[in-house]
């Protein structure tokens, strides 16, 4: 048996319990991974609080993981026992239900296609912090067809997704100028990620910004609420599709 965090009803964090679960056996194309670090994202708490996506109880929260392969199915080709891997293990079946339990456990099974070898220069904790947020961040650039040399305004540049958007814009997608918003304590942090300019949203109102941007990356769903009819705007405003907007609205509820 193994220990895992789980819940059997929706509600506040008090519904979480630590309990015993069988250690799962990897199927044909799956790995059994001993979890060294797991990370939580807003979706984990939202899913716990309300019936957010169809889920059967018990639910073990957690999408992100870094760990070590300890067993594998006969069809696995890319990994060996002992490999250090990381990834977002959440995948959904045709009914929209998560296929497997989450990562707040000692062991998880995962299809080999959902993980990658952990870079040597990342700790398990650093690696586990990345997958879902960086997938989300990259998806935005690709979906909105971001072009090298464009400038970008990032709403929420100090957050999990936003801090990666700033780094990707500057260091991977070749943005010519990166402006990001955050609160006062995060100004230096966001600059250190590569932002050319940081707007402290506790001191500057969006309505006061006059510049126009090639691309606005909104990680917190502020655009539909606050930025409509502002003088500051762009023809390319990216908010991460319907799913993201739904989750962002919940974020506003929480705040």
Ligand X SMILES: NC(=O)c1ccc[n+]([C@@H]2O[C@H](COP(=O)([O-])OP(=O)(O)OC[C@H]3O[C@@H](n4cnc5c(N)ncnc54)[C@H](OP(=O)(O)O)[C@@H]3O)[C@@H](O)[C@H]2O)c1
Residue 162 as a binder of ligand X (CB under 6 A): the answer is yes
* Residue 142 in contact with ligand X, rule: CB under 6 A: no
Query: Site map for ligand X, 91-130, x if CB under 6 A?
Result: ----------------------------------------
Q: Closest by alpha carbon to 114, among 162, 79, 160?
A: 79
- Number of neighbours of residue 45 by Cβ within 10 angstroms: 17
Tokens of 75: 């069809």
The whole-angstrom separation of Cα 75 and Cα 77 is 6
| Site residue total, ligand X (CB under 6 A) | 27
What angle separates helix 131-143 from helix 160-171, to the nearest 10 degrees? 50
**Rounded to the nearest whole angstrom, what is the least distance from the CB of residue 76 to ligand X in the complex?**
26
Region from 13-21, 76-84, 117-125, 152-160 binding ligand X, contact rule CB under 6 A: 152-160
Residue nearer to ligand X on the CB measure, 3 or 203: 203
**Residue 187 Cβ, how far from ligand X at the closest point, in Å?**
9
Would you tell me how many other CB atoms lie within 10 Å of the CB of residue 212?
13
Q: Does residue 182 belong to the site contacting ligand X (CB under 6 A)? A: yes
46: three-class secondary structure by DSSP: helix
Q: How many CB atoms lie within 10 A of CB 215?
A: 23
| Binding region for ligand X (CB under 6 A) | 41-43, 132-133, 136, 155-156, 158-162, 181-183, 186, 201, 219-220, 222, 240, 244, 247-248, 251, 255
């Amino acid at each position: 048996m193994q220990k895992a965090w789980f819940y059997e009803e929706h509600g506040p964090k008090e519904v979480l319990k630590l309990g015993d679960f069988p250690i799962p056996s990897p199927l044909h194309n799956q790995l059994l991974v001993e979890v060294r670090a797991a990370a939580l994202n807003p979706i984990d708490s939202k899913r716990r609080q309300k019936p957010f996506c169809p889920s059967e109880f018990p639910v073990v929260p957690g999408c992100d993981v870094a760990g070590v392969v300890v067993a594998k199915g006969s069809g696995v080709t890319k990994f060996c026992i002992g490999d250090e891997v990381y990834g977002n293990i959440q995948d959904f079946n045709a009914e929209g239900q998560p296929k497997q339990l989450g990562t707040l456990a000692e062991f998880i099974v995962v299809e080999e296609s959902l993980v990658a070898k952990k870079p040597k220069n990342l700790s398990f904790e650093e690696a586990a912090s990345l997958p879902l947020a960086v997938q989300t961040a990259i998806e935005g650039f690709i979906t909105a067809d971001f072009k090298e040399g464009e400038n970008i305004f990032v709403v929420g540049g100090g957050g999990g997704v936003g801090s990666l958007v700033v780094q990707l814009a500057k260091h991977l997608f070749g943005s010519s100028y990166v402006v990001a918003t955050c609160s006062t304590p995060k100004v230096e942090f966001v600059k250190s990620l590569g932002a050319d300019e940081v707007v402290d949203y506790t001191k500057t109102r969006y309505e006061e910004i006059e510049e126009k941007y090639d691309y606005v990356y909104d990680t917190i769903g502020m655009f539909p609420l606050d930025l409509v009819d502002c003088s500051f705007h762009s023809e390319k405003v990216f908010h991460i599709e319907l799913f993201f907007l739904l989750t962002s609205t919940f974020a506003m509820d929480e705040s």
